[in-house]
Structure 1
Amino acid sequence: MLLLLLSTLQSCSEDVQRSMKAIPTAFGQLNEIVIVMDDELWESPVGDTIRYYYSSAYPLLPQPEPVFDLRHFTPLELKKDPLRKELRTYMLVGNLSDEDSPTAQMIRKDIGEEMSESARGDITKNNAAGRDKWAKGQLLLYQFAYSNQDLIKVLKENYPAIKKRVNKFDEKKLESYAYLNGVNNNLINEVKESIGISIRMPSDYFMAINDGEVIWMRKETDKTSSNIMLRKVKYEDQEQLSKENLIAMRDSLGKKYVSSTIEDTYMQVNDEDLPVIFNTTKVNGNYAVEGRGVWEIVNDFMGGSFISYLILNPNKGELLFVDGFLHAPGEDKRDFMEQLDYVIHTIKFQ
């Protein structure tokens, strides 16, 4: 179901107040959604549905982390602490048949009576979106119905569109994290000259290996190691774009190039503890296959997450193998993996 963009949020008294003082800029973390709803609904199967979908496991990490971090406030709790109204992403959820519900009243006021009433007879008209209600740079998503049963159905059916909307809204923040200190032009030029690929590398990456077969770029901090490997191969047939071939290619590079300080160690895909998730996709318009999973170091106690791509360059009859992998023991990994994936998606063929 498509989200409807509200041209205005109908909150006259708040508009008057805002006109008399500076409007703050919204703050908050990546992948964070503030759920605004009454306590009774939050503790009911409606709240369970929200947690089931929006707190589901991000694919695919060694230890489970949610797709989104959720915070829950009632309208009264928002009113008590003005800073709670200055976060980035909100989802207001209400049963509009409950006239005494503070959240339902807020939703009606924001979306207007016409839209509220249209949802009474048509369950497809059950969501809306607004911007900058309390601060600049906010996204507000509204989900509503006239019974708890219908509201649960709405939440289930709208989840893919809502997730996509929030991820799109988060892109600028994700970019600011990935390129906090700018880009590494020397690295960008070296990759372009070596294999004819454009990739926008952050400034804190360095060239670890460029031996004519593989390019390996790394970013090292006290807590994390982020890595991107590139290798071009001739495209011969469709079988190369299989899950088995992607894993085999990754394992071959892992065995040749990646080890720990212990002798006879090497990297390999661990698809016994967690299966590799495999999909077809596109990277900057080019057909690709994608694999997500976890890696381990054989004969040592090290592991982490990876995302690999085989991207088809039909103009040159080539495949580009791209692997992003992370080692971050004791750290949350979701946001770091998203940064790796964001950088990978800047790849363009020359």
Structure 2
Amino acid sequence: MKQAGTLILLFSLALLSCNDSKKTTYLPSSIGAINSVVVIIDNELWNGSVGDSLRSHFASPVVGMPMDEPLFTMEQLAPKFFTGTIRNTRSILYVEQDSLNLAHIKSDMYATPQRVGVIKGTTKEELIENIDAKADEIIASFKDMEIEAVQKRFNRSLNKETVLQEKFGISLKVPSIYNVSKQEDNFVWIDREIQKGTANIVVYQMPENSFNNDSTLVKDIVAMRDSIGAKYIPGPDVTGKITHMHTEPAFAPYVYPVEIAGLKGVEVRGLWDIKNYPMAGPFLTYILNDNEHNRKLVLEGFVFAPATQKRDDLFQLEAIMKTLQLDTPVVKK
């Protein structure tokens, strides 16, 4: 009898296991180009004030670029076409005039990873109010997911150079297509070729007491960048002229608070150019308070690609820099 009871128990567990497996939903991998959003909305709404509100948020110009490039590339579809594989798009906005008045974000509805921003309202005015109220949160959610998607892509083949660990006690997940092009006592330059130019990352450190005056922060950041450019990033040879990278003097950079790898600091976006030579492009700098090692750690990405769009190249540099890890102690000087 004891054996029969054991068999019945095992049979029951097997049935439960089968039922659980039937309930499990396996989602396909999401698809879509980096920084692209599919907008599901009626044509009438898209072509009117509601569409204008969506574009003002989700297709606003990326800060600190030499030419206007949208935050996201938007593709509009009427709801009746929202079928098949298009549902597997990574970033989706679903906007509908409905009997409900709401705005929220859903995750992994049809694929993974996926974010679906849902915005509904009983009138066009309510739709616009909900877009204005929720857009920043949806954009942040989309961007965080896009950063992770980029990082996942280049994780497949990483550069094995150890110079960043040796000099600064840090590591970055850098794709193998990048190479170390220059290294000095307090400076490392990593770059790769892109269409018509290069994508670049430089790393260095500053004294811990740098940038302690909020009233002169922007001025001090520009002075730091210009001094590093003069010392380490020369421009083309021009007879009788000194050429090197500096901050575009006609445009003040934008500064935002940031935290990466547990280090608080600032994010700086702006334009660089070459003194006495017609070359320019966007840069993105992180200045991080590494109090444990008595320093300000500086990571900067910049792109040179004349007459081409640079949004996605700079975005990849952002994704690389956000893989920062502090690996080993550094020698305090």
Per the shorter chain, which TM-score range?
Answer: 0.7 to 0.9
More divergent stretch after superposition (228-237 vs 30-39): 228-237
* 2:43 corresponds to which of 17, 39, 45: 39
Q: Tell me, in whole angstroms, the C-alpha distance in 2 between the residues paired with 1:126 and 1:200.
A: 36
2:76 maps to: 72
2:262 maps to: 285
Output the amino acid matched with 2:245.
Answer: M
Q: 2:307 is paired with a residue of what secondary structure?
A: coil
Establish whether residue 228 from structure 1 lines up as the match of residue 205 from structure 2: no
Q: CA deviation at 1:229?
A: 1.3
Q: Structure 1 residues 136 and 281 mapped into 2: Cα distance closer, same or farther (>3 Å)?
A: closer
Establish whether residue 270 from structure 1 lines up as the match of residue 284 from structure 2: no
More divergent stretch after superposition (168-177 vs 311-320): 168-177
2:31 maps to: 27
1:295 maps to: 272
Q: Structure 1 residues 176 and 224 mapped into 2: Cα distance closer, same or farther (>3 Å)?
A: farther
Contact 1:259–1:265, Cα closer than 8 Å, also in 2: yes
Unaligned runs of 5+ in 2: 1-22, 329-333
Q: 2:278 is paired with a residue of what secondary structure?
A: coil
* 1:144 corresponds to which of 105, 120, 127: 120
Q: Tell me, in whole angstroms, the C-alpha distance in 2 between the residues paired with 1:240 and 1:284.
A: 24
1:244 maps to: 219
Unaligned runs of 5+ in 1: 1-18, 98-115, 120-124
1:190 maps to: 163
Q: Tell me, in whole angstroms, the C-alpha distance in 1 between the residues paired with 2:29 and 2:288.
A: 39
* 1:207 corresponds to which of 151, 166, 180: 180
Q: CA deviation at 1:145?
A: 1.2
Provide the aligned C-alpha RMSD in A: 2.3
What does the per-residue CA deviation read over 1:4-31, in whole Å, with 9 as the maximum and x for residues that have no partner? xxxxxxxxxxxxxxx9xx9864421111
What does the per-residue CA deviation read over 1:282-335, in whole Å, with 9 as the maximum and x for residues that have no partner? 121112122110111122221111011221111121111222111112321111
Q: CA deviation at 1:210?
A: 1.4
Q: Structure 1 residues 319 and 72 mapped into 2: Cα distance closer, same or farther (>3 Å)?
A: same
Output the amino acid matched with 1:212.
Answer: D
1:218 maps to: 191
1:48 maps to: 52
Q: 1:28 is paired with a residue of what secondary structure?
A: coil
Contact 2:107–2:113, Cα closer than 8 Å, also in 1: no
Q: CA deviation at 1:128?
A: 4.6
Q: Tell me, in whole angstroms, the C-alpha distance in 2 between the residues paired with 1:132 and 1:195.
A: 42
Q: Structure 1 residues 56 and 206 mapped into 2: Cα distance closer, same or farther (>3 Å)?
A: same
Q: Alignment identity in percent?
A: 24
Which one has a bigger Cα radius of gyration? 2
Q: Tell me, in whole angstroms, the C-alpha distance in 2 between the residues paired with 1:246 and 1:86.
A: 43
Q: CA deviation at 1:269?
A: 0.6
Q: Tell me, in whole angstroms, the C-alpha distance in 2 between the residues paired with 1:222 and 1:288.
A: 32
1:61 maps to: 65
User: How many residue pairs align between the two structures?
Assistant: 298
